[in-house]
Amino acid sequence: MTEASLQGAVTKLCALLGVWWYHAYQPRRDNAGWPDLVLVGRNGALFRELKRDGENPTAIQSEVGLRMQRAGLDWAVWRPLDLRAGAVMSELESIR
């Protein structure tokens, strides 16, 4: 599953659950390392980097993620495995 396919699956779940999402479509104009998706529900927000199974975030993506975590934000990486295992749905339900 590609990152684009994963993003499509996640945003469909967001629509189903009423979770607002944002994706930066012009990463060259944004600061490097910004996560692929910002997900906002009534009960919180998630910042998620999307990767294919077996791929890892770049050094700058990991650095931004660490900064977000240190600031108390919920940053993590989602892969297709997380979608198949139900982790994505569970985390989205927790903020809806």
> Would you list the DSSP string of 51-78?
--TT----HHHHHHHHHHHHTT--EEEE
Beta-strand ranges (E) seen in 1-96 are 20-22, 37-41, 44-50, 75-78
Q: Tens of pLDDT along 19-72?
A: 999 998 766 666 789 999 999 999 999 999 999 999 999 999 999 999 999 999
Domain range spanning residue 7? 3-95
For range 70-83, the mean pLDDT: 98
For range 70-91, the mean pLDDT: 98
Quote the tokens at residue 49.
Answer: 């980097």
* pLDDT for the residue numbered 31: 78
Rounded to two decimals, the pTM is 0.93
The number of domains in the chain is: 1
Quote the tokens at residue 33.
Answer: 């390392």
Pair type for strands 44-50 and 37-41: antiparallel
Q: Are 37 and 66 in contact (CB under 8 A)?
A: no
Quick check: 76 pLDDT over 90? yes
Provide the CATH number for the domain around residue 53. Answer: 3.40.1350.10
Quick check: 91 pLDDT over 70? yes
| Cα torsion through 5, 85, 10, 75, rounded to 10 | -110
